[in-house]
Amino acid sequence: MLKIAIILGSTRPGRNGETVAKWVLETARKRGGADYELIDLADHPLPLLDEPMPPLMGQYTKPHTIQWSNVIQPFDGYVFVTPEYNRSVPGALKNAIDFLFREWNNKAAGLVGYGAGGGHHATTALRGILSELKMAHVRTELNLSLYTDFEDISVFRPTSDHEETLNRMLDELSAWSSALRGVREASAQAG
């Protein structure tokens, strides 16, 4: 069974992402076919990257990095739920991603962005980051506008169109997550 993590990329108090991430989790679990789990960055407070060696080396010295590695490693794929802050992702999400390297390699990612402009700038920035980590990000993404998809810019109101797009993205994510298992196995044997 595939293991897919839904990563809530905002730690800000009052964040809209919590309801979005829980809706993604609920919708995904209705589908079956994978074991879905929510990872809230607020539950994994990381300082600014403080490891003496680059994550590429995999020589973690800090307990919080080892714990974070143990949280991320078991998954086959990820759905990143990210707000758009100043045309990019929140610092907490970028920092959490930057702490690790091999744990992300040869895995798949789906993207859900939200913000005043629909979160598209954040998901575009995230694609570049994930590519550098050898992650395959699927084409279909869900972008949500604070003005049209949230009541009073704070209460998420998903529509059937949102669910359809999310399910299409999850179909792609499942296919790529499954295919990349073989890539990881081949890499481990060659390495």
Question: Which is nearest to 126 in space by CA: 181, 80, 166, 161?
Answer: 80
**Tokens coding 8:** 């809530």
Task: Give how many domains the chain has, as a whole number.
Answer: 1
CA–CA distance, 139 with 161 (Å, rounded to integer): 17
> Which pLDDT value is given to residue 89?
98
Task: Convert the pLDDT of each residue in 63-111 to its tens digit.
Answer: 999 999 999 999 999 999 999 999 999 999 999 999 999 999 999 999 9
CA–CA distance, 21 with 24 (Å, rounded to integer): 5
Question: Which is nearest to 9 in space by CA: 83, 69, 86?
Answer: 83
Task: Convert the pLDDT of each residue in 118-161 to its tens digit.
Answer: 999 999 999 999 999 999 999 999 999 999 999 999 999 999 99
Residue 63 in 3-state DSSP? helix
CA–CA distance, 92 with 94 (Å, rounded to integer): 6
**Which CATH number is 171's domain given?**
3.40.50.360
Task: Convert the pLDDT of each residue in 3-31 to its tens digit.
Answer: 999 999 999 999 999 999 999 999 999 99
Domain ranges, residue 138: 2-190
pTM for this model (two decimals): 0.97
Place of tokens 């739920």: 81
